[in-house]
């Protein structure tokens, strides 16, 4: 891979001068005002792999007038997000942009307020609590698969994201809101949320450009926020007026409405519930749909892996309904999903701002520096991943997992701020994959033209992958007729 850039000569000289702090090498060769921004837009994720290969595990790049220090090794993640996490925060223009969407939700809040919210929410995301939601998830999957059945009957192709997005949305809505949301309301949140996520990313890229440079879509973004708020506040108000009783069928939102902070005796306000519900909904919706889309693409290009996945599901679940106990036996299914998250992590970046001067691998990190951990590149670091472009679910056997750095795989982040929905997402992935191979044989429409990554807030597909499904016959004849 060629990277048409050179190390900035002044930066290189300064970093070698004796007695002066070393400065990370600067990815150069960009335009005076835009820096590496055109290269990022054209090369996408490959820019990070090429820069790491040329400049090492720590380097800087200019995105417009904003300088970003990129770190690419698990030990850097250990330092920034765990050992020295108090030195780094979620301040600055980037996080302010995200807050225009998520308010002060768990993903962006800080300090004592974040600790309070995490304390109130954490117990609802313990694995035993998630297991109680499995039946609701399977109901949602089966309802949405009626669309897949119609495509199978007609012989029509399906588009990965267009097929998985409503399926994931139905699962999240069912578990987050229960039955207290209409299909029209779901469609409003899905359409508005997808646009809003992309707009926030464009705003982040434009940070630091002159104020007169327009970022298209500003009015539509404000309208999307209003539309989502109208739906969410209406659902919250209904939930507060008519609390659901505790039990296995209780939605996550109902649980949050009923949660009292043991230290303060307070409940969340409607505004706080809005921020947390929207954070859970948007963070889980697009990322899970993308994770499943990338997983399916990888499986359709590896018939042996798909056959092994199906054989495991047939042996463990048979023709019955998946339940929580099955998940603990679907080891290969889980490893398939983990490997897909390695190769194509929907959350491809983790970012912090240095609150004080610091040092990473001998490089000086001044206070105010925007530090980006490139998850996509860390998941392909040759020190930890042999032949990293090869799809190999066996990387996640207990033995191989124990032999590598614990932070070589971070699709959900790490440390205190690790994604609260980690176990929810893994259960979700296992259930969907199990139900799909139980029900269908699958084939790519154009197996030699895979989708390629496109950077946004998430790792999207530049061109969506299309595939066909065929219903498996009674007695699992389809298991032997094809993959």
* Residues 161-175 pLDDT 10s: 999 998 999 899 888
pLDDT given at position 19: 59
Per-residue pLDDT band at 4 (split at 50, 70, 90): very low
Please report how many Cα atoms fall inside a 13 Å half-sphere around the Cα of residue 226, on the Cβ side. 6
Instruction: Answer yes or no: is 373 a known binding residue.
Output: no
Alpha-carbon dihedral sign for residues 380, 306, 326, 292: positive
Which of 412, 322, 346 minimizes the C-alpha distance to 164?
346
pLDDT score recorded for residue 351: 93
Gap between the Cα atoms of 87 and 371, Å rounded: 12
Q: Which residue has the higher pLDDT, 262 or 300?
A: 300
| Low-confidence winner among 26-35, 99-108, 170-179 (lowest mean pLDDT) | 26-35
User: Contact 414/115 with Cβ under 8 angstroms?
Assistant: no
Residue 273 clears pLDDT 60, i.e. is over it: yes
Residue 212: partners with Cβ closer than 8 Å, 6 or more residues away: none
Asked whether residue 91 carries a pLDDT value surpassing 90, the answer given is no
- The pLDDT, as a whole number, for residue 146 is 94
pLDDT in tens, 427-445: 999 999 999 999 999 999 9
Domains along the chain with CATH numbers: 65-481 (1.10.630.10)
Confidence class for position 246, pLDDT limits 50, 70, 90: low
Distance CA 329, CA 315 (A): 10
Q: How much is the average pLDDT of 141-155?
A: 95
Query: Which pLDDT band, with edges at 50, 70 and 90, does 18 fall under?
Result: low
Instruction: Count Cβ atoms below 10 Å from residue 466 Cβ, excluding itself.
Output: 17
Mean pLDDT value across the chain: 87
Q: Which pLDDT does position 141 carry in this prediction?
A: 96
Tell me what the mean pLDDT of segment 375-390 comes to.
Answer: 97
> Using 50, 70 and 90 to split pLDDT, how confident is the model at 15?
very low
- Which pLDDT value is given to residue 330? 98
Q: Which residues of 150-182 are buried (b: 16+ CB within 10 A; e: fewer)?
A: ebbeeeebbebbebbbbbbbbbbbbbbbbebbe
State the pTM of this model.
0.88
- The answer for residues whose C-beta is within 8 angstroms of residue 288's C-beta and 6 or more apart is 164, 168, 171, 172, 346, 425, 428, 429
Confidence band for 10, pLDDT divided at 50, 70 and 90 = very low
**Are 317 and 437 spatial neighbours (Cβ–Cβ below 8 Å)?**
no
Mean pLDDT of 315-324: 96
pLDDT in tens, 299-310: 999 999 999 999
In this prediction, residue 214 carries a pLDDT of 64
- Residue 153 — pLDDT band, cuts 50, 70, 90? very high
Pairing label, strands 370-374, 349-354: antiparallel
Q: What is the pLDDT of residues 188-233, one digit of tens each?
A: 888 898 888 878 877 666 655 555 666 678 889 999 999 999 999 9
Task: Tell me the pLDDT tens digit for each residue of 328-367.
Answer: 999 999 999 999 999 999 999 999 999 999 999 999 999 9
Q: Is the pLDDT of residue 387 over 80?
A: yes
pLDDT, residue 431, reads: 98
Nearest-CA neighbor of 143 among 166, 160, 162? 166
pLDDT mean over 273-289: 91
């Amino acid at each position: 891979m060629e990277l048409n850039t050179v190390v900035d000569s002044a930066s290189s000289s300064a970093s070698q001068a004796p007695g002066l702090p070393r400065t990370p090498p600067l990815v150069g060769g960009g335009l005076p005002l835009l820096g590496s921004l055109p290269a990022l837009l054209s090369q996408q994720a490959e820019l990070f792999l090429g820069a790491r290969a040329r400049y090492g595990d720590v380097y800087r790049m200019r995105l417009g007038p904003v300088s970003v220090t990129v770190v690419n090794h698990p030990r850097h993640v250990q330092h920034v997000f765990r050992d020295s996490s108090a030195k780094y925060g979620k301040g600055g223009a980037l996080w302010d942009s995200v807050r225009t969407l998520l308010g002060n939700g768990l993903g962006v809040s800080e300090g004592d307020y974040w600790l309070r919210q995490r304390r109130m929410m954490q117990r609802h995301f313990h694995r035993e609590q998630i297991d109680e939601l499995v039946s609701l998830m399977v109901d949602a999957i089966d309802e949405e698969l009626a669309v897949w059945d119609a495509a199978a009957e007609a012989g029509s192709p399906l588009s990965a994201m267009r097929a998985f997005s409503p399926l994931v949305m139905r699962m999240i809505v069912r578990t987050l809101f229960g039955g207290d949301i209409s299909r029209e309301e779901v469609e409003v949140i899905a359409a508005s949320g997808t646009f809003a996520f992309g707009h926030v990313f464009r705003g982040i890229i434009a940070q630091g450009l002159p104020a007169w440079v327009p970022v298209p879509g500003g009015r539509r973004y404000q309208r999307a926020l209003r539309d989502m708020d109208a739906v969410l506040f209406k659902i919250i108000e209904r939930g507060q007026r008519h609390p659901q009783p505790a039990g296995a069928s209780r939605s996550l939102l109902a649980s949050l409405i009923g949660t009292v902070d043991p230290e303060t005796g307070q409940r969340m306000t409607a505004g706080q519930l809005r921020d947390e519900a929207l954070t859970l909904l948007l963070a889980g919706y697009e990322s899970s749909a993308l994770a499943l889309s990338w997983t399916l693409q990888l499986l359709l290009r590896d018939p042996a892996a798909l056959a092994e996945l199906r054989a495991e599901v047939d042996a463990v679940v048979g023709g019955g309904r998946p339940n929580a106990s099955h998940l603990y036996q679907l080891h290969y299914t889980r490893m398939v999903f983990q490997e897909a998250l390695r190769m194509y992590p929907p959350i491809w970046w983790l970012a912090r701002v240095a609150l004080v001067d610091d040092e990473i691998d001998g490089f000086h990190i001044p206070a105010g520096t925007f530090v980006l951990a490139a998850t996509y590149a860390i998941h392909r670091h040759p020190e930890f991943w042999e032949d990293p472009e090869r799809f190999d679910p066996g990387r996640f056997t207990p033995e191989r997992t124990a032999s590598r750095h614990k932070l070589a795989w971070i699709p959900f982040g790490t440390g205190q701020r690790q994604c609260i929905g980690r176990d929810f997402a893994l259960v979700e992935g296992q259930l969907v994959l199990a139900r799909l191979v139980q029900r269908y044989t699958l084939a790519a429409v154009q197996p030699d033209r895979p989708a390629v990554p496109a950077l946004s807030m998430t790792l999207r597909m530049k061109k969506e992958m299309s595939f066909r499904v065929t219903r498996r016959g009674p007695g699992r004849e389809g298991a032997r007729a094809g993959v």
